[in-house]
Structure 1
């Protein structure tokens, strides 16, 4: 196990009607805020009305900015930064899923600087300050409600890039499983895959003697595998939603990577797919992860066997470990398909060949190796993308 320091300052407020507490929580930090959200769904559901009523009751004023899209755009981030500076806003409340929260975090970093916030996303410096952010979560998936991460897409070049900083941990996050009950089945499926991917990025590590966090990750994966189908069968199942929503937060709040070094190559590869083709992140991960696994599994076959046996209940065969690992991958693919997602690029509607372009972007012109479990160059990433195709 590696040395580590761990803290997570995000206050979690979990349960039915938790969103009614948002005003009193925000008022602790600021009296004038940016209210950031996506499309019209929060207004149709009545969530918008409940949030603004709570803000009014607490004496909090707001300027609102809607319109966040999946794979959130830099242009809207720039608009939010302008509003924060123009109106001297001191806090950002994100009401929505991971895309809204990621956009809010980007605005928070950009509102306190004089240069373009995109600089941070391409490695030109690191943030030293940010406005405080909080969330009302509507989609369990990205884990942004309690993480250091934000991912933004720049329309110039269609580059999708990430920043990680403890400065953008949300001050608090409100998690009411009832808010997710109107999600379309596709978004439920994408969320389940996104959560699973966060777990597997951490699971496949070269660090030894991490059996405690191995077991925690395995248990969280098995929770997703059990609860997601129950939700698709009965979208009003509060208990199943509670399990999945909390699993999604734990999967990406950095607890499960303590003492270990995760991989993150699959996320990097998928960012190039969704950056160019604007596919849902979870749907892209369902395509990339099986291909990545088939490419790297011989690097540490024992770990893949352990994963297949413990997570997917594959029978151990000490005389044919490769077959055990491949069966685990096959069961994972079958699970993704049972949720209604494809596991090949054609299932995403991708028919033209920009594989070499994606591999080049991912490695910054073959100058940057991707991943930690196995270091991947441009040719390796192109090979994985062709497996996915």
Structure 2
């Protein structure tokens, strides 16, 4: 196990009707709020919009609304939000939505204190100086951004990420009831994203991390067990609650303490999102089984453990590769069973941009902490995903 420092200072407010407490949480940070959302119909039809606004007003807070956040959030709206914050002397940013809304809020927060274009920070040309505090009302369990140190932003066909402990939200309001209306495809894409966040920690070269191995395995199994329940009954509160909390644990950092992480598959998936505007979780369903099959020989026994502990596959001691490959196949079958594609042909993508995506993915060098992947490796994984 590696040395580590870990601090997750997000306050979690979990349960039914917790969105009604948002005003009392915000007032600790100031009087003027930027209310960021995607403008979706669900805000009004579920009563969430009115609950949030009523809670803000009940504490005599002022708010300015910024709506229109899209999946794979775009830098132009972030720039608009930064201008509003500076002009209106905003004290606090409230994100009501899923990962795209939260990442937009985080990006606005750091952009307010940067003397230049916020995209510079994402390209590594600028540094985060400070941030406005950000709070969250979570509506889509998936990215884990409600408690992570990460944010992702898109500029044209370029999708990039930043990581900094200062952008972790100060609070996250989490009411599983708010996820009842999520379409099945969005629910399952979110679950793939959650599992992928665990994979990026689980497939590691660090030895003697049995405790976090077990936490990782439990988190994956929790998603597998509960996604079928919500597909059968979207209003199953307990199953929704399990998924929501597992999504937070998957990406708040606790599963990565003391171990090297990977993130190669994520970077390959980001290029698909950037080029084709595909839902992030879906890009991971498209890539992960093929990434796994490409790298498993690097540490066959890690994949054997995964197959046995997560999927309950009986270990073949005479042929460990057979067990490892069976676990990879079960992963692929699971993604398909919940309606997520696992081949690029399923989403009408050919080989036209494979080289371009691989070049962009590796332009700063090799990617991945489990197996170091160069451009040719990435091309091979994309090609495998065509099958």
Normalised TM-score (structure 2): 0.98
Residue in 1 aligned with 2:37? 37
1:290 aligns with 2:284: no
Secondary structure of 1:151's counterpart equals strand
- Counterparts in 2 of 1:113-124, with a 5 A limit? 113-124=114-125
Deviations 1:203-230 (A, max 9, x none): 0000000000000000010000000110
- 1:387 partnered with 2:384: yes
- Regions of 4+ moved over 3 Å: none
Q: Deviations over 1:148-191 (max 9, x none)?
A: 00000002xx1000000111110100000000000000000101
1:182-331 map, 5 Å: 182-331=181-330
1:56 corresponding residue in structure 2? 57
Q: What corresponds to 1:133 in structure 2? A: 134
CA distance in 2, matches of 1:353, 1:311: 36
How much is the aligned-residue C-alpha RMSD, in angstroms? Answer: 0.8
How many angstroms does 1:332 deviate by?
Answer: 0.7
Q: Which residue of 2 aligns with 1:16?
A: 16
What is the DSSP-based 3-state SS (H/G/I as helix, E as strand, rest coil) of the residue aligned with 1:262? coil
Mapped partners of 1:30, 1:250: distance in 2: 29
Contact 2:304–2:323 (CA under 8 A) maintained in structure 1: yes
- For residues 45-64 of structure 1, the C-alpha deviation after alignment (integer angstroms, 9 at most, x for no partner) is 21011100000001110010
Tell me how far 1:5 sits from its aligned partner.
0.4
**Which residue does the alignment assign to 1:371?**
368
* Counterpart position of 2:146: 145
Which stretches in structure 2 are left out of the alignment for 5+ residues?
none
Secondary structure of 1:146 counterpart: coil
- Does the Cα contact within 8 Å between 1:143 and 1:253 map onto a contact in 2? yes
Once residues 237 and 253 of structure 1 are traced to their aligned partners in structure 2, the CA distance between those partners, rounded to angstroms, is 25
Q: 3-state SS of the aligned residue for 2:50?
A: helix
What is the rounded CA distance, in whole Å, between the counterparts of 1:206 and 1:252 in structure 2?
19
**Aligned-partner Cα distance in 2 for 1:77–1:352:** 32
Secondary structure in 2 matching 1:319: coil
Cα distance in 2 for residues equivalent to 1:44 and 1:77 = 26
Are residue 6 (structure 1) and residue 3 (structure 2) matched? no
What do residues 36-87 of structure 1 show as CA deviations (whole Å, max 9, x unaligned)?
Answer: 0013221222101110000000111001000001100011111111111111
Alignment partners' CA distance in 2, 1:240 and 1:149: 26
Conserved? CA contact 2:301–2:320, under 8 Å: yes
Deviation (angstroms), 1:120: 1.2
Task: Report if aligned partners of 2:285, 2:340 keep a CA contact under 8 Å in 1.
Answer: yes
